[in-house]
Amino acid sequence: MKRPDTRRPRRARNTRASRSPKVRAPKRRLSHDAEQALTPRQLEILDALELWVLRRDFADVTMAEIARTMGCSLRTLYGIAPGKDELILAVLDRRLHRIGREAIAALEPEDPPLTRLRAYLHATNLAVQPTTAAFARDYGRVPGARALNESHANYIVAITRELLDEAVREGEIEAVETAAVAHVLGRLGNEFARPDMVDATGGSPGEKADSLAEILLRGLAARSR
């Protein structure tokens, strides 16, 4: 007599999870717990400050002037960050984390690796889309700005390398030094957002990064044909 099959049925494979990048995001300047402890008004101010920081010179602005502009008390601002530099970094780090999450969430797991890489790089290049020469100069003078940029750039490079490795495994591109290629592709946005580059080239750093990334990706794909 045949014994009944008592094995548990296999769970359906989560394709989206299995093809999502496994790289850990950079540590947040404003931790999840700290953000959860903020009042609704403080969260509104953080959202409003994002556009304010991107659209104006802020090098000589004081916390008191920011409070007047936001229509809040100094106590409310200091409840978010201990000073102007920390506030600027918290606002921009929060923005970069949001763009990073949205970039990953928008990837279609069924798409080929290079298609997902194109979509990912385009989404992350949006982070430097509103950059002006004035913003780039002011931001570059903020203590901790370079370290913040490096942490997010390293994350983008790691995701890019993971997708390039996948493209090699699936035969979409020939074997290349993916670490080197990822280093170039993942840092294009930052490079074009440097003050000297914004001054020299004009236009949108994000669009320039997109254009150069596309040239490089087409070259990789052409080599495998």
CATH number at residue 35: 1.10.10
Range of the domain at 173: 106-225
Residue 150 falls within a domain, yes or no? yes
Residue pLDDT, tens place only, 116-159: 999 999 999 887 766 677 788 888 899 999 999 999 999 999 99
**Contact between 48 and 72 (Cβ < 8 Å):** no
Within-domain flag for 62: yes
On whether the pTM is more than 0.75, the answer is: yes
Torsion of CA 109, 111, 113, 115, to 10 degrees: -130
> 69 and 121 share a domain?
no
Q: Is residue 144 part of a domain?
A: yes
User: Position 206: which residue type?
Assistant: G
Q: How far apart are CA 107 and CA 19, in angstroms?
A: 9
| Co-location of 75 and 113 in the same domain | no
Could you tell me if 75 and 117 lie in one domain?
no
Per-residue pLDDT of 39-76, as tens digits, reads 999 999 999 999 898 888 888 999 999 999 999 999 99
Domain boundary among 38, 66, 91: 91
Total number of domains in the chain? 2
- pLDDT at position 127 is 79
As a whole number of Å, the CA-based R_g of the chain is 21
